[in-house]
Amino acid sequence: MGIGLSIAYPPDTDTPQLAAENRFKPPETKQMTAMAQSLSANRVAGDILGGIRRRQFMITPGLEMTFLARLHSFISPILQWQCDRIVSAQRLRE
């Protein structure tokens, strides 16, 4: 039938929307996303279009998103622990 389905999991993408969001992010969110690399809109769009052309089901632009998508079941407890620590530390500061 020529119908395909893809799901894209883009990372933070360097756009005016992200710049606006960053001005209002809570401190906890800023800490959690500080280590993540944002990608250019052109890079994200190119990766998504390339994935669609290759008929990929799951499209994960960038190495970090690919890593998270492949290993999330294994590293989820570690990520949740880290996020809980960040939130708890911020609440103690307030």
pTM above 0.75, yes or no: yes
At residue 89, the pLDDT reads: 87
Domain-embedded: residue 1: no
The answer to whether residue 56 sits within a structural domain is yes
Is residue 54, in this structure, part of any structural domain at all?
Answer: yes
Quote the percentage of the chain above a pLDDT of 70: 100
Q: So what's the pLDDT on residue 40?
A: 97
- The Cα 53–Cα 43 span in angstroms is 15
User: pLDDT at position 60, please?
Assistant: 96
Indicate whether 2 belongs to any domain: no
How many domains does the chain fold into? 1
HSE-CB at 90 with a 13 A cutoff on CA atoms is 13
Residues 15-48 pLDDT 10s: 999 999 999 999 988 888 888 889 999 999 999 9
Residues of the domain holding 49: 7-93
Which H or E run includes 35?
none
